[in-house]
Amino acid sequence: MPAFTRASKRAPRARSLRLVRDSGLGPRGSGAFLVVEGPEGAGKSTLVKWLVARLQAEGQRVVAVREPGGTPIAEAARKLALKSRHDRAYGAELFLFLAARADLVERVIRPALADGQIVIADRFGLSTIAYQVSGRGLPRADVEASLRVATGGLTPDLTLVLDVPVAVGRERQRHAGKVKDRIERENDTFHTRVREAYRSASGPGIVHIDASQPKKAVQDAAWQEVAAVTTRTSSLRGA
Ligand code: T5A
């Protein structure tokens, strides 16, 4: 029997095993998965750094990731999505972000959760809904279906959505000296659609925080939510 026939006979079985493992329906480990979301310059990275330090000070094991990025494949996709000067179809942009996410979920996030660690992500699936669906206008149901393929159905225990007006976020980025990437260069109409998508997000574990407040007030509001989730997951694993 030619080699390609043997391979093609085995392939469907391997694929279905993979779907079962990544379906998100089975046990995913005893860690907690926290996500910080929001429009440009809302203070996500600043809050993630603070949360990591605070959780570590409490003796927790924490892994922080930033999307897109975090694995060699995801960093390569990030470069293409945000830095490449070539025009691209919006669908191509979508799949660059999803390729990055799929690799990050499988190689970093799921193993850390399985090991009982707390994972904090700077952006996750809600970014794709806000930017690629509301910003770019791609069809929501299709994007949600491809998102499930990328994440295997993994959903955060808590998503903190930071809200700031577009002008405030831009001013913060300018003040921080950030060089604009291709999405940040989009006009205010685009970024207003993104902000509104975040503001209207709802569902299990989604909490909105007014991020135009001083950093300390944002941190206090975030900590109240994070402590509730991590206390619950710690007690579940008997820590
Ligand atoms: N994207 C991403 C998609 O289109 N689809 C997707 O699926 C995904 C995952 C990523 C880009 O990719 C797009 C969205 C983005 O355009 P990025 O370079 O990773 O881009 O940058 P951002 O995630 O946008 O992060 P930014 O650095 O622009 O903003 P942050 O992290 O929200 O803000 P931060 O923490 O860097 O703070 C900015 C400045 O504000 C100050 C900080 O000190 C800093 O100087 N600050 C505050 N100042 C006053 N009061 C507060 N409360 C403050 N909090 C922070």
| pLDDT tens, residue order, the chain (239 aa) | 333 333 333 333 333 223 333 344 334 567 999 999 999 999 999 999 999 999 999 999 999 999 999 999 999 999 999 999 899 999 999 999 999 999 999 999 999 999 999 999 999 999 999 999 999 999 999 999 999 999 999 999 999 999 999 999 999 999 999 988 999 999 999 999 999 999 999 999 999 999 999 999 999 999 999 999 998 877 666 66
Rounded Cα distance, 47 and 231, in Å: 19
Q: Which amino acid is at 83?
A: K
Chain segment 8-58, per-residue pLDDT in tens? 333 333 332 233 333 443 345 679 999 999 999 999 999 999 999 999 999
Inter-residue contact 211 to 218 (CB < 8 Å):
yes
Q: How distant, in Å, are the alpha carbons of 11, 15, 156, 216, 236 from that of 59?
A: 44, 39, 21, 22, 17
Task: Give the Å distance between the CA of 185 and the centre of ligand 1.
Answer: 14
DSSP state at residue 106: I
User: What's the predicted TM-score (pTM) here?
Assistant: 0.90
Q: What pLDDT was estimated at residue 231?
A: 86
Tell whether ligand 1 has an atom less than 6 A from the beta carbon of residue 37.
no
Tell whether ligand 1 has an atom less than 6 A from the beta carbon of residue 34.
no
Q: How far is CA 68 from the centre of its chain?
A: 8
Task: Give the Å distance between the CA of 220 and the centre of ligand 1.
Answer: 19
Task: Give the Å distance between the CA of 142 and the centre of ligand 1.
Answer: 26
Structural domains in the chain plus CATH codes: 29-236 (3.40.50.300)
Tell whether ligand 1 has an atom less than 6 A from the beta carbon of residue 117.
no
Tell whether ligand 1 has an atom less than 6 A from the beta carbon of residue 127.
yes
Task: Give the Å distance between the CA of 21 and the centre of ligand 1.
Answer: 33
Rounded Cα distance, 196 and 146, in Å: 22
Task: Name every residue whose Cβ is closer than 8 Å to that of residue 188 and which is 6 or more positions away in sequence.
Answer: 166, 167
Tell whether ligand 1 has an atom less than 6 A from the beta carbon of residue 41.
yes
Q: What pLDDT was estimated at residue 23?
A: 40
